């Protein structure tokens, strides 16, 4: 095992498939192990490079193996697939991971810390509660509409639902269903409010999050997510790389020397992309009252482009500013934003 320089691991829930190579790329060993056997094996293994796909459980395993002195590299799964030589199986996947990790131009994913994973889990739970709250409200509107009661759109209607039920003669069974939905809606509302308070407390102790809050249009939720995802920004060469990693740059379909740019690529984390676009639309809502180079750039762009196009362009700009704040340890000011031609 002293000759092993690179180990590829195909992660699983209970079983793991390993493929080891020497410095010349020649196979040294391959084996199937359980989770406990994997930790025991690599804890006593000579220090080497270990590559895995950035999938479920990869970040925890990366932290564990890094503690044993190994150099861990995480690769996005779609970058590994082209290196599978023939039929797909677990050992072939492990070999393909080794092959992909040995490429000098391969892009790697930075392992997340425990605090980053916990924060992102909290955001996912909040998003789930928000979706459930919207679905519950829509159900109440739909059930009432079936009985000829049309309510205006908005969450404030749910607060006076008991009064609406009392004003109209409805079947007792439907009243019981609506009361149950109203109780569930209030529960979701309370859970979302508690999570918002917890995120606000965490953000108050986060220096990067506070500096990200200085970006116009960026609120606590977006700043918290960006703080967890961007980190120190060193995993990206520049601000454009970060914007490209979340799909806010044009998708290319160029051939024969002719450049053909399409819509945004929509790659990477769609949650961050959605939040940044919402921040951009929030900024655009009162752009006429804003001053500075960024506001002038947005107004000039709105004069000749559709608002959706401007929203994506501004989201790209906000992503670049967020990376600059993280990488250069600065805060947003109107004077330090470099505007490109609109």
How confident is the model over 82-134, as pLDDT tens digits?
A: 998 888 888 889 999 999 999 888 888 888 888 888 888 899 999 999 999 99
Residue range 6-101 forms a domain whose CATH class is: alpha beta
Q: What is the pLDDT of residues 126-139, one digit of tens each?
A: 999 999 999 999 99
Query: Contact, 91 vs 10, CB < 8 A?
Result: yes
Q: What is the pLDDT of residues 39-53, one digit of tens each?
A: 988 888 888 899 999
Q: What is the pLDDT of residues 293-317, one digit of tens each?
A: 888 888 999 899 999 999 999 999 9
In the predicted structure, residue 336 carries a pLDDT above the cut 70: no
Helices (H), 72-216: 77-80, 90-101, 114-146, 156-159, 161-167, 172-204, 207-212
In the predicted structure, residue 142 carries a pLDDT above the cut 50: yes
In the predicted structure, residue 242 carries a pLDDT above the cut 90: no
Looking at every residue in the chain, the average pLDDT score rounds to: 87
pLDDT at residue 337, rounded to an integer: 57
**Tokens matching residue 124:** 């996912």
State the pLDDT confidence band at 62, using cuts at 50, 70 and 90. Answer: very high
Give kind and range of the element (H or E) at residue 50. Answer: strand 49-53
Q: What is the mean pLDDT of residues 238-267?
A: 83
End-to-end CA distance of the chain: 57
pLDDT at residue 341, rounded to an integer: 47
State the pLDDT confidence band at 1, using cuts at 50, 70 and 90. Answer: low
Length of the chain: 342
- Residue closest to 92 by CA, chosen among 81, 78, 76: 81
In terms of C-beta distances under 8 Å and separation of at least 24 residues, what long-range contacts does 30-35 make, across chains too?
Answer: 30/91, 30/94, 30/95, 32/90
Query: Contact, 235 vs 244, CB < 8 A?
Result: no
Query: Contact, 306 vs 225, CB < 8 A?
Result: no
DSSP assignment letter at 109: B
């Amino acid at each position: 095992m002293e000759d092993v320089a690179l180990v590829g691991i195909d992660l699983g829930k209970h079983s793991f498939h390993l493929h080891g190579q020497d410095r010349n790329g020649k196979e040294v060993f391959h084996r199937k192990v359980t989770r406990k056997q994997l930790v025991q094996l690599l804890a006593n293994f000579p220090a080497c490079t270990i590559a895995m796909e950035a999938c479920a459980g990869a970040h925890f395993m990366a932290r564990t193996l890094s503690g044993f002195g190994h150099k861990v590299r995480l690769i996005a799964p779609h970058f590994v697939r082209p290196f599978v030589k023939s039929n797909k199986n677990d050992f072939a996947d492990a070999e393909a991971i080794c092959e992909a990790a040995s490429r000098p131009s391969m892009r790697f994913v930075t392992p997340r810390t425990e605090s980053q994973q916990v924060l992102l889990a909290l955001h996912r739970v909040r998003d789930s509660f928000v979706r459930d709250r919207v679905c519950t409200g829509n159900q109440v509107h739909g059930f009432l509409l079936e009985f000829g009661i049309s309510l205006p759109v908005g969450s404030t209607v749910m607060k006076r639902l008991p009064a609406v039920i009392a004003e109209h003669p409805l079947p007792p069974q439907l009243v019981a269903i609506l009361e149950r939905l109203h109780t569930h809606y209030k529960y979701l509302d309370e859970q979302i409010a508690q999570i918002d308070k917890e995120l606000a407390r965490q953000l108050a102790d986060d220096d990067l999050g506070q500096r990200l809050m200085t970006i116009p249009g960026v609120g606590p939720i977006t700043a918290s997510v960006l703080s967890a995802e961007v980190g120190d920004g060193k995993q990206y060469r520049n601000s454009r790389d970060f914007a490209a990693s979340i799909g806010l740059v044009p998708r290319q379909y160029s051939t024969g020397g002719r450049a053909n740019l399409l819509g945004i690529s929509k790659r990477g984390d769609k949650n961050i992309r959605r939040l940044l676009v919402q921040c951009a639309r929030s900024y655009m809502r009162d752009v006429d009252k804003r001053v500075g180079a960024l506001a002038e750039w947005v107004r000039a762009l709105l004069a000749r482009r559709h608002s959706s196009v401007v929203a994506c362009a501004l989201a790209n700009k906000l992503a670049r500013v967020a990376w600059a704040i993280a990488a250069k340890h600065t805060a947003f000011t109107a004077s330090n934003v470099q505007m490109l031609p609109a």
